[in-house]
A and B are shown apart, each in its own frame.
Chain A
Amino acid sequence: MPNYSWPPMASRKVMGQRLSRTDGIEKASGRAKYNSDLNKPGMLHAVLLTSPYAHAKVKSIDTSAAEKHTGVAAVRVIAPAGTEIQWAGWEVAVVAANTELAARDAVKKIKIEYDMLPHVVVENDLKKVKTRAKPAGEQLEGDPDQAFKEADVTLEGNYGIPTLTHCCLEPHGQVIGWGADGKVEFNPSTQSVTSIRGDLARLLNIPATDIHVHQDHIGGGFGSKFQPDRWGIEAAQLSKAAGGKPVKLFLDRATELMIAGCRPSGFLNVKLGAKKDGTLTAWQSESWASGGIGGGGSPPIPYVFTKVPNRRQNHTAVSLNTAPIRAWRAPNHQQASYLTCAPLEDLAAKLKMDPLELFLKNANLTQREDTYVRQLKKAAELSDWKKLWHPRGDSGKGPIKRGLGIGVNTWGGAGHDSTARTTIHPDGTVEVELGSQDLGTGTRTIIAQVAAETLGLRVPDIRVKIGDTNYPPSGTSGGSTTVGGVTSSTRKATVNALDKLLAEVAGGLGAPADQLEAVDGKIQVKGNAAKSLTWKAACQKLGVKTVSETGSNVPREAAKEGLNTGGVGGVQIADVSVDVETGVVKMNKLVAVQDIGLVVNPKTAESQVFGACIMSICGALMEERIMDELTGRMLNADMEFYKLAGIKDIGEIVVHFEIDELNDKRGVIGLGEPPAIGGIAAISNAVANAIGTRVPTVPMTPMNVLDTLSGRKS
């Protein structure tokens, strides 16, 4: 059994280096081809017709005029008469034509009659949703009634966090061709090159081996791009109907925001009990959330402080006539972090206690006390907490009020199932192939770093090939599982390939293969650079053969091998200034202290945290899907009114990793999710600290802040 474990931290030469991503020039120069950039010979453009109504029955649908429209190649009805539409944006019909404009015009010629049905699209008041509420049943731990009687202080509060949409910049969609030979060429925008093939095969009822998937780059996913989706199936059928011509169907922006993924809301009425010293003794909550027609979205509360001894929790799932939720970067955790850390901060304010002290005091209620204590102290240091924190309400003069607040996170992040194939050619070329994908995290780069480290080479010596079903299967990029999965499989495949190469050259070097090593571009007898072959010379010994070996990350074995594990904590502290005359919240600083394992590339790892923090700022201050109760539609399905932070809105972001031997021994741990969790809570707490009162719902838009300050309910 070969030894796959990582080389010791101190002796690594490529892993752990701050290297620029290998596809950086390609992307920054505009040469990178995303599947939405493809123009194939004879390609048709398809446009969807979606329902303007949130709840309705299709009475009749007439596509005859659309079919006759110049340039139209195929029309398909997706929702035939009798279909019950459950949300605005539901796919009703689709047209493929030789130009996009012709397809758009033809779609307008489709005549549909609907029977309107009553809809519910807003859930901030649980009483109003009536029969749409489905209580999940009470969870009871300990004796909360007794604990509240004995508590020195109790706090009651209401909090809300809205539905967000993923708003991937590259919309969902694909180019797909279904030829007369039965073969399907599928170019989707996907987070799962390997599994989307099987999913599409099942939906089209054809063998998976008849489908080839290829994707070089993806323009954002964040958890919303796993499935082939209705538009994938329909585009395939349109292609088939049009004699196999490739069909391009990417969603327009409004449809993207309406139906291609959203994060569930979360609402909470909570009562906390505590001792005078801040020790939490009881939690009682009524929470509700909606994830669309199927309900869904149950935040794990109390978050991180899971060991509150006495708890009574009632959660209600609300079914709405809105498009279904999809996984969103750390599903349910942002909501849970906010819905826990905000009341904790309010409790500290009621106790006239420093919330940092309250969080530290209760760290023993978490699963990783030492980590959180260390991180809270580090984050406090980096945010200048001692100097800048003040009791609730900035007492300074003038309209600008400054405040600080804390949020916490936890996540898993162990590696997924992944197989890699490493091939060494007689000319010294090295290829590593995986059916994986680079979401922008730098997956290509870290694969190259692992292979180069293993072979004693440099990153430019490694050709990484991903994004194709001709390569070995690799897992879905979700849940921060990719980095652990692909580094481990690459390590194993490359160790296996190297062992084969060493066996080939051992004779020539006069030493057994297990006495050879690959370092600094050479194969040499261990510790003896005099007895060596250059990499090229060694590979030439292969003659006409190539060495090609696979290796797999098997999640249940990975921890034993020491290659990857999961389970991290993190702390974020926000520093904000609020203008109480305009309601504008300005970010001064966001500090992220993140628990981490072995870091393959600190540069791209930091970028993950920067991005996660910025996403939190968007969620705390700007983003919100706004539904119109009357029409049942999303009012801000565009990028003017569905707001994202710009380059000026983010303040300073400080990232602190604990990169050391101890953490390194935990192996690789995923990083995409955890730092995206605690920022919203931290910013909400900072605003409360600044203005002296809780803005009970996010996003904390100027209107929301002013309403809170004037005692209005927004």
Chain B
Amino acid sequence: MSEILDPEKREKRKGRGFSRRGFMQGIGVTGAVAPALLPEQAQAQTPPGVMGPGPVAITLNINGKPMKATVEPRETLLDTLRNQLDITGAKRVCDRGTCGACSVLVNGKVSYACSILAIDAQGKQITTIEGFAMSGGKPHAVVQAFVNNDAQQCGYCTPGFVVASKAFLDHNPNPTYEQVKDGLGGNLCRCGTYVGVRKAVLEAAKMMKGGSNA
């Protein structure tokens, strides 16, 4: 059972500090639990333009295309991508902003899709790995470098790493080895592919400068 579903655990969690995600999901759950704010109060206080609490039709700009979905306000961008739009490169692993397996770009910035509500993603440019990994049948430099350096094993964390690496290189085209280690600190791998990832990011930086895939 998820911690969010368990009132006792959530009580304990409150003591540990505020959780945006737990709070948001608590708001959406009526009746069964005692959220910090009752839904009625939340509604009474909500300014015009706020959506919900029932399912709402939204349009998201994903990989340059408008895509329609009907979501509950508590639904994450990650679950909308995976469950409704069948865009599954971003993975659900920790589901609370720790591991980076769900990394996507929001307005060019690498973000955890598990920690963004779908309704909050409206009007933003969302780029998933599907949006840049292959173009004209050719892999992006980061993808190719991950393959060349065997920077993946089971591969479940890999799309998140590739997205984070691309965003990192977009902002740091000439990284040092030390910068790569800092820049990719927001992603976790269980198989232990970090040695390959370090080399891959450095190689991709070179390839991108060479114009092979910018």
Contacts and interface: CB of A to CB of B under 8 A. Distances in A.
Contacts of A217: 154-155
B93 A169 contact: yes
B170 interface: no
B57 to A, nearest CB: 15
A630 B33 CA distance: 23
B27 to A, nearest CB: 13
Q: Top 9 A-B pairs ranked by shortest CB distance?
A: A30-B89, A614-B192, A219-B156, A611-B192, A440-B153, A440-B154, A24-B147, A27-B155, A29-B133
B1 A647 contact: no
A647 B181 contact: yes
A645 B194 CA distance: 10
20 contacts: A27-B152, A28-B155, A28-B158, A30-B128, A30-B130, A31-B134, A36-B92, A37-B82, A39-B82, A101-B72, A108-B29, A169-B99, A220-B154, A440-B153, A610-B194, A611-B153, A639-B99, A640-B98, A645-B194, A650-B192
A100 B91 CA distance: 16
A105 interface: yes
A588 to B, nearest CB: 14
Secondary structure dominating the interface of A: loop
Interface stretch (A44-52, A75-83, A463-471, A515-523): A44-52
A490 interface: no
Interface string B149-172: 011111111110010000000000
Given A21-B152, A105-B32, 19 more contacts: A29-B133, A34-B88, A36-B92, A45-B83, A100-B79, A101-B28, A104-B2, A108-B29, A169-B99, A219-B91, A219-B155, A220-B156, A253-B95, A607-B195, A607-B196, A614-B194, A638-B3, A639-B94, A648-B182
A24 B153 contact: no
B139 interface: yes
Interface residues of B, number: 71
A113 to B, nearest CB: 15
Contact of A49 (B1, B146, B147, B162): B1
Contacts of A101: 28, 72, 74-75
Contacts, number: 211
Scoring B88, B152, B155, B187 by chain A CB atoms within 10 A of each residue's CB, the highest score goes to: B155
Nearest to B30: A105
B88 A220 contact: no
Interface residues of A, number: 70
B143 interface: yes
Contact of B191 (A32, A37, A252, A440): A440
A99 to B, nearest CB: 7
A297 B170 CA distance: 49
Given A25-B147, A99-B83, A604-B150, A32 B155 contact: yes
Contacts of A25: 134, 139, 143-144, 147
A441 interface: yes
Given A168-B190, A640-B98, A644-B190, A21 B150 contact: yes
Contacts of A513: none
Contacts of A648: 181-182, 185
Given A29-B139, A29-B143, A168-B190, A37 B1 contact: no
A89 B96 CA distance: 20
Contacts of A134: none
B96 A640 contact: yes
A700 to B, nearest CB: 19
B134 A29 contact: yes
Contacts of A221: 154
Given A20-B147, A169-B93, A647-B184, A638 B193 contact: no
Contacts of B105: none
Contacts of B197: 647
B67 interface: no
Given A28-B133, A28-B147, A105-B29, A441 B190 contact: no
Interface string B177-204: 0001110110111111111111000000
B2 A220 contact: no
Contacts of A31: 89, 130, 133-134
Contacts of B88: 30, 33-34, 37, 39
B181 A638 contact: no
A607 B32 CA distance: 48
Nearest to B191: A611
Give the most central of A20, A30, A644: most B CB within 10 Å.
A30
Interface string A609-625: 01111110000000000
A254 interface: yes
A493 interface: no
A551 to B, nearest CB: 27
Contacts of B99: 169, 639
B129 interface: yes
Interface string A149-172: 000000000000000000111110
B194 A30 contact: no
Interface string A246-261: 0000001111000000
Contacts of A604: 150
A708 to B, nearest CB: 27
Given A253-B93, A255-B1, A646 B188 contact: yes
Contacts of B9: 52, 633
Contact of A607 (B3, B93, B158, B193): B193
A695 interface: no
A656 interface: no
Contact of A218 (B8, B134, B154, B195): B154
B139 A615 contact: no
B104 to A, nearest CB: 11
B43 interface: no
B5 interface: yes
Interface in B12-38: 28-29, 32-33
A20 B32 contact: no
A506 interface: no
Nearest to B95: A253
A583 to B, nearest CB: 20
Contacts of B153: 439-441, 607, 611
